[in-house]
Structure formats: C-alpha cells, structure tokens
Structure 1
Amino acid sequence: MLGVPALVALVGPALAGPVRSVAGPLEPPGAEFPLGTDVLGRDVLALALSGGTSIVVLAGLSLLLSYLVGVPLALLVTSRHNRWADGFLLRVMDFVLALPGLLVLLVLAATGWRGVATLVVAIAVLQLPAVVRIVRSAALAPGCRAAVEAMMMQGEPWWRIHLGYVGRAVLGPVLVDAGNRLSLVLYLLASANFLGLGLAPSASDWAVLVERNKEALFLQPLTVLVPAALLVALCMGTNLLLDQSLARRNGAATA
C-alpha cells in the first residue's frame, strides 16, 4: 500500500502528460482521458501522476521539523527534573494547542505570510504541543530507571543518557504517533493550499485536488476518489509499515 503512492510520487511526474486545461470540465472517462477531467478541464490521470511529490515532501518536512524540535525539547525538560521549566513549557504548549489550526492558517493567509516555507513551519508549530506531551509522557518512566542513575554516576554525558538511552526508549511511541499524525498534516496541507497559503489552488497536489474537486464528487467521482485513494494508501501503508517495524523490534528485544 505504501509502495504504490510512493512509486507514483517518485516517477509519476516523468510519466505525466500536461497538467493544464486540455478539455471541457468534468468530462467522463474516455479513450483520450482514461480518468476524465477535473473542474478545470485537466486530465485527472496526469494530475494523479504529477501530484504526489509535493504532498509527500511537504508532509515529510512538516513532521520532521516538529519532531526534530519537540523530541529534544521534551527530553531536555524531563531530564532536568526542573518543575518550573517543565510547567512553563507545558503552559506554552497548552496555549499553542488551544489555537485552531485552520484559524491560524487563515490569519497567516490574510496577513500575507504565504509560501511553502511558511506553510511547513506553521504546520510543524501546530503539531509541536502534541509531540512534546507524547515524548514527555513516554520519557518519564525510562528517565527514572536504575540504568539512568548508573550512567550518571559513571559520568556519562547528558546527551548520551537522554538522547541515546531514553531517546531509544521513546522511539516506539514517537513512530506510532508520527504515523497517526500524518493524516492530520495532510488535512492541514490541503486546507492551507486551498487558501493560497502554500501551493496555488490550481496545483496538481493530491490534497489540493481533493479539496478543489469535492463539489464534483457525484458528477465526476474519479476527480476526488483517485487522489483520495492515493492519500489513504499513503497513510495506511505508512502506519502498517511502522507497526510491522515496531513488532519486529519488540520481538528482537524480547529474544
């Protein structure tokens, strides 16, 4: 399930035809256009082949940035056992968590903060509170183990204890959360692109196609179902792969 959308995103743009308007809007599938056309008269097959690269790259960058910031931050606060710093961090995260994602994107679009970089940073910040809370909760028990105390008594550096030992202990929950969070990131990307915050509403991005053609679902369903199926396969395939990897890791650790 992951291989199909990944392969389409990788080699699809080289195989896709023109993504400009080439016919009338919402034409049914036929010999010339196997999947029909969308609301702008573009070939749905060409759009599906060319629209995966942007969504995979943007979603991957957003998730990577949120975890690159959130994981070390949560481990740092947890390891110091500083109640004041821990409480301050959680209150800041609570404030960000209370902000509706779509409202933040609307404000950014209205104030002129547009572009791919802005979109990636905004979505990463919106995911940061949940990432910090999950990592902090997962790190509390491993951080109190006798092994951590022994490493501290032996003079091991902080980064080796908490980023190495405790970081490996929280890897499982982080991977599970990343797989589940992918669907939320895809939703925010589609909404932001449709608002003009990142990609243009006429882009061939899979998420943008679903948002752009949703009103034509019953007139030309393939304009929505094809990119939606690729997105669903991407999410489910990623989660299944992570679950299988974690099962193998746990099995190896048990053995």
Structure 2
Amino acid sequence: MSTVKTSPVGRFALGLTITAVPLVLALLGPLFAGDPGPRSASFVLGDGHWLGTDFVGRDVWRQVLHGGRSVVLTALAATALAYLVALPVGLVSALTGRRWLEELLMRPLDVLLAVPSLLLILLAATVFTPGTVGLALLVALVNVPDAARIVRAAAAEAAARPAVEALRMQGESWWRMAVGYVGRSMIRTLAADAGTRLTGVLYLVATAAFLGVGVAPDAADWAVMVDRNRIGLFVQPWAVVVPALLIVALTMGTNLLFDAALDKGARRGRPVRVPGRGAGDGPSKSRTERETRP
C-alpha cells in the first residue's frame, strides 16, 4: 500500500495559506472594521449582520476584525522576549566552563520550570492587573526556563566538538565561538523549538485572555469572544466558532511553515560526495561539514 508524501514546498504552501487568513485579519482587520453602528439584540443571526451579533449585540464580523491583533502581537512579543533572555543564559551556561556560574544561571530556572505556566500567570494576576504588555512579559517569563534548557543542550552538544577546542587553542574570542560557530550550529534546533514554542505561546495567551487575564472582559479579542459568547453557542454559533477556528488555523499554519522549512533545510544538508573521488578513495566530506568548519 503506497503512501502519499507531501513535499516541503507543498507543506509550506499549505501552511502559508492556512496562516495567511488569520494573520491578515489580525494585522489589517482593524483598518477595515468601519463604523460600529448601533447595537442589536444579543445572539441574532442575520438582520444585516452576516455573522450575527455577540452577547451584547455587537456585530461579530467587526469583533473578528478587531480581535486578532492583541492575540498575535502578544504571542510574537512573548516568544521574542523569551528567546532574548534564554539565548544568552543558555549559551553562557554551556560555554562558561565554570560550574558555579552554570548552577547560578540554571537552578533558579529549574525552580520556575516546576510551577505550571498558567498557575504562575493566574497567581501574578491576583497581585496586579496586567495589561497586554504585562501579559506578554508573564508569558515570556514562564517560557524562559524551558527555552534556556533547550539552548543550553544544543550549545553543549556543539561546544563538545573538536572545532570549538581548536578555536580555544587559537585564542579566538568567546563571541566568535558562541555566535560564530556554536550559534550557527544551533539554528535548526532553535527553529524547530520556535515553531512549537510559538504555538504553545499562542494557546497560553488565548487561555489567559479566555480567563480574563490581560484583557477586559468585553474586549474585542478572539479568545475573549470564545469565552463570552459560549453561552449562546447553540443559538448563534458563529460568535464562538469563527474566532476559535482562526486561533486553530494560526497555530496549525505556523507549525506547518516551520516543519516545511526544517525539512527543506535537512534535504539541503544531506552529504554530497566530492567530485573525482571513487568508492575507494576514502570518505567524502559532506556539505554540512564544510559549511560548519570555522
């Protein structure tokens, strides 16, 4: 029985198509939302509202156009902030050579990792009321420990190679070793982690908004729309189904894009024989070996 394999280009095109719809709505939707107009009755289908009205009589389509920007921008900012902290922490702990410094950097993160992410966000929300910026900082904070561990593991594997020892013997700077060689060796690992991490951050931001953390209870936000309109799901389902599908499409499309890019990169990195060498002329050097040589 034969199986159909999707090419990286096909997966990339599919991921781009799936991601484009929620991304365009999130970033450009507020520009085309138009005048809010008068409110109607709650959970009405039709009557000039092609996606109906929500729990307070607002037009669902306008809420969809307004509701994605906060989710997308908060998730992107939180992911970027998490790596902004995790990358230097992971690189320093892997390359420092000083056990006490590694323990000082990683052990507090292990303690933070033991606390469930959503619980930490809810506990912080009881102390202060975070806005969108505060929510992005909280989500970034709970993602730093795991991201730093992945960076450290990838960096430690690359740092154990003979090339790094050769760089040390040549007196190369720490920056040259960490960024020029080790950092370049981690690109595929970090890209794989970034795809799954962005997906997890999107769900965490949406869940926090669903619970009322970081956004107003009646805000135009896709996650808030799912929460506040679920009481009318069987009366007016579009107020719940449409924002929920947009969140799912955004996460699925993001994963497909990263998977396709990684698969394409893996195919490019396959060993290539050096022209002119026969089978008995000794082992050939792969393209990846030549590219990663400092």
TM-score by length of 2: 0.79
Deviation at 1:95, TM superposition (A): 1.1
Match of 1:14 in 2: 31
User: Is 1:4 paired with 2:31?
Assistant: no
Q: What whole-Å deviation, never above 9, does each CA across 1:117-143 have from its counterpart, x for those lacking one?
A: 221111111011110111112222111
User: Is 1:64 paired with 2:80?
Assistant: yes
User: Is 1:102 paired with 2:109?
Assistant: no
Match of 2:288 in 1: none
Distance across 2 between alignment mates of 1:192 and 1:241 = 25
Identify the match of residue 212 of structure 1 among 209, 228, 234.
Answer: 228
Alignment map for 1:192-203 (pairs within 5 Å): 192-203=208-219
Distance across 1 between alignment mates of 2:225 and 2:66 = 11
Distance across 1 between alignment mates of 2:179 and 2:78 = 21
TM-score by length of 1: 0.91
Match of 2:281 in 1: none
Deviation at 1:226, TM superposition (A): 0.6
Match of 1:142 in 2: 158
How many residues are matched? 254
2:210 touches 2:226 (CA, 8 Å); kept in 1? no
For the pair shown, which has the larger CA radius of gyration, 1 or 2?
2
Are residues 214 and 94 of structure 1, via their aligned partners in 2, closer, same or farther at CA, if it must alter by over 3 Å? farther
2:22 touches 2:249 (CA, 8 Å); kept in 1? yes
User: Is 1:165 paired with 2:181?
Assistant: yes
Distance across 2 between alignment mates of 1:188 and 1:103 = 11
RMSD over aligned Cα atoms: 2.0
Deviation at 1:113, TM superposition (A): 4.0
Alignment map for 1:1-255 (pairs within 5 Å): 1-18=18-35, 22-28=39-45, 30-254=46-270
1:115 touches 1:199 (CA, 8 Å); kept in 2? yes
Deviation at 1:237, TM superposition (A): 1.1
Q: Name the % identity.
A: 44
Distance across 1 between alignment mates of 2:58 and 2:38 = 4
Secondary structure in 1 matching 2:44: coil
Distance across 2 between alignment mates of 1:94 and 1:20 = 51
Distance across 2 between alignment mates of 1:19 and 1:63 = 33
Are residues 97 and 8 of structure 1, via their aligned partners in 2, closer, same or farther at CA, if it must alter by over 3 Å? same
Structure 2 runs not aligned, ≥5 long: 1-17, 273-294
Deviation at 1:18, TM superposition (A): 4.3
Distance across 1 between alignment mates of 2:227 and 2:165 = 52
Distance across 2 between alignment mates of 1:18 and 1:193 = 25
The structure in which a higher percent of residues are helix is: 1
Aligned partner of 2:217: which letter? P
Structure 1 runs not aligned, ≥5 long: none
Distance across 2 between alignment mates of 1:121 and 1:252 = 37
Deviation at 1:27, TM superposition (A): 1.4
Q: What whole-Å deviation, never above 9, does each CA across 1:27-47 have from its counterpart, x for those lacking one?
A: 12x251111111122111111
Moved more, 108-117 or 43-52: 108-117
Are residues 10 and 114 of structure 1, via their aligned partners in 2, closer, same or farther at CA, if it must alter by over 3 Å? closer
Distance across 1 between alignment mates of 2:251 and 2:112 = 25
Distance across 2 between alignment mates of 1:219 and 1:178 = 39
Moved more, 56-65 or 167-176: 167-176
